Amino acid sequence: MYPEPARHPPTYGPVEVHQPTPITPAAVTPAPLVPVQPGTVPTVASVVLPDGRVVTGYAMSPMQPEALTAKPAVSRAAVNVALGGVGFLAVCGGLLLLTTFITALTALITQLITLAAVLFGGYAAVQIFKPSGAKSGNTFHIRKATFKRNHFNG
C-alpha cells in the first residue's frame, strides 16, 4: 500500500577538526605553559573560534554536595516500638473500659428486672391477699389456677 522507503548508502566525507585558539594579551609576552592540575577552572576563559569569533566564558563554582542530615538522636526502630507500645496500651485501656461498661450495664438490667419482679409480685400479693370487700376485678393466674373475687376456678 505504501511505497518502500528509498535506501541510500551512507556517505562518508572528510571530517574537519577545529581547535579553539586561546587569546593572549598583546602587551604581555606569553609565559611558558604551566601544567594545570585537572579539576581547576580559570575564572574567565576566552577562545577564538576558527571563523574569528571570540567566546568568553565565566567559570562556575563546582557543585557542592548537600550537607548530610544529622541522624536523629533516637533510632526509628525505637520510635516505632514506643508508638506500638502506646497503641497497645490504648487498646488494652479501651477493652478494660468496654468490659467495665458491659458489666455495669448487666448489673443495671439485673436490678431493673429484680425491681420489676418485686413491684409486680407485691402488687399481685396485695390484690390476692387483701380482704374480700376491697378486691378489684383483676384476675391473676397462678399455676394455671384462676383466683377471681375470692372464687377458685381451676
pLDDT in tens, 96-131: 999 999 999 999 999 999 999 999 888 888 777 776
- Model-level pTM greater than 0.85? no
What is the per-residue pLDDT for 51?
Answer: 87
pLDDT attached to residue 110? 96
Q: Which positions ≥6 away from 30 have C-beta within 8 Å? A: 24
Q: What is the pLDDT of residues 9-26, one digit of tens each?
A: 777 777 777 777 777 666
